[in-house]
Amino acid sequence: MWRYFVKRLGIAILVVITVSVISFGLLRLSGDLAQIIAGEGATQAQIQETRILYGLDRHMVLQYLDWAGKAMTGDLGRSLFTNEPVFQLIATRLPVTATLAFSSLLLAICVALPLGVFAAVYRNSWIDRAALGIAVFGSAVPNFWFALVLIYIFGVQLRLLPISGSASWWHFVLPTVTLSTMVMPQIMRLTRGGMIDALDSDYVKMAWAKGLNPGIVFFKHALRNALLPVVALSAVSLGFLLGGSVIVESVFSLNGIGSLAYESIQRADFPVVQSILFVLSFIYVLLTLLSDLINARIDPRIRLY
Partner 1 sequence: MSNTPAPLDNMELAMPTPWQQSWSMAKYHLGLQTGALIVLIALICAVFAPWIAPTDPYAQDLANRLAPTIWQEGGSWAHILGTDGYGRDVFSRLIWGTQVTMIVGFGAAVISGIVGSTLGMLGGYLGGRVDAAVIFLINVKLAMPGVLIALSLVSIFGGSLLSITIILSLLFWDHFAVVTRTATQEVRTREFIAAAECSGASRSWILFREILPNITSKIIVIGSLEMGIAILVEAALSFLGLGIQPPTPSWGILVAEARDTMFFKPHLIIAPGLAIFILVVGINLLGDGIRDVTEPQGRN
Partner 2 sequence: MADMTDACPAPILSVRNLEVTLRTPVGDLQATRGVSYDILPGETFAIVGESGCGKSIASMALMGLLPRIAHASADRCRFDGQEILGLSRRKLSRIRGNTLSMIFQDPMTSLNPVYTIGDQLTEVFVRHGKGNRAQARERAVFLLERVGIKNASARLNAYPHQLSGGLRQRVVIAMAMMCSPKLIIADEPTTALDVTVQMRTLALLAELQKEFGLSIILITHDLGVVASLSDRVAVMYAGQIVETAPTAQLFADPTHPYTQGLIRCIPSYGTPDPDSELSTIPGMVPSLIGRQKGCAFRNRCPLAFSDCGQVAEVALQKTGEDHAYRCLRPHDSLIAHWRGLHGESV
Contact between 304 and partner 2 by CB under 8 A: the answer reads: yes
List of residues 6+ apart from 209 with CB closer than 8 A: none
From the list partner 1, partner 2, none, which binds 125 (C-beta under 5 to 8 Å, kind-based)? none
Contact between 212 and partner 2 by CB under 8 A: the answer reads: yes
Residues 243-272 interacting with partner 2 (rule: CB under 8 A): none
Residues 123-142 interacting with partner 1 (rule: CB under 8 A): 136, 139-142
How near is the Cβ of 185 to partner 2 at its closest, in Å?
Answer: 25
Q: Closer CB to partner 2, residue 183 or residue 227?
A: 227
From the list partner 1, partner 2, none, which binds 161 (C-beta under 5 to 8 Å, kind-based)? none
List of residues 6+ apart from 184 with CB closer than 8 A: 107, 108, 111, 112, 134, 135, 138
Give the interface segment with partner 2, choosing from 35-43, 217-225, 247-255, 264-272 (CB under 8 A).
Answer: 217-225
DSSP per-residue codes, 12-75 = HHHHHHHHHHHHHHHHHTTS-HHHHHH-TT--HHHHHHHHHHTTTTS-HHHHHHHHHHHHHTT-
Q: Answer whether 60's CB lies under 8 Å from 27's CB.
A: no
CA angle 199, 229, 18 (to 5 degrees): 160
From the list partner 2, partner 1, none, which binds 160 (C-beta under 5 to 8 Å, kind-based)? none
Contact footprint for partner 1 (CB under 8 A) = 11, 14-16, 18-19, 22-23, 26-27, 29-30, 136, 139-146, 148-149, 152, 156, 236, 239-240, 242-244, 246-247, 250, 258, 261-262, 265-266, 268, 273, 276-277, 280-281, 284-285
